[in-house]
Amino acid sequence: MKTITLSELRRQRWSEIEATLSQEEEILITRDSKPVAKLVRVIEPVRKRKRWDPEEHKRWLKKVWRGKMMPSSDAALARARADRWEKESG
């Protein structure tokens, strides 16, 4: 574990301390040879993203909309795509 005094901490640039912290797990900060603080490197865990489940989403929609299901937009999208395709091709 690296040790640094408060006066050294004040004189050094943060980028140098951060570089040291990337090498060391922690840096002990002292005043008058007594420890007063500890800088610890924080590594956030990588969270695995949950796969989208259509059935779970359907249950959530029913809960939010209190059982009232909205009509599917699939038919409207298909019509809009067909209209656009006809305009572009003909």
Please give, one letter per residue, the 3-state secondary structure of 8-32.
HHHHCCHHHHHHHHHHCCEEEEEEC
Give 22-31 pLDDT, tens digit per residue: 888 899 999 9
Give 46-72 pLDDT, tens digit per residue: 888 888 899 998 888 888 888 776 777
Query: Is the pLDDT reported for residue 88 higher than 90?
Result: no
Q: Spell out a b/e string for 59-82, using b for 16 or more CB atoms within 10 Å of the CB, else e.
A: eeeeeeeeeeeeeeeeeeeeeeee
Structure tokens at 20: 């040291």
**Whose CA is closest to 28, among 67, 66, 2?**
2
Query: Is the pLDDT reported for residue 90 higher than 70?
Result: no
What is the distance between the alpha carbons of residues 25 and 65, in angstroms, rounded to a whole number?
49
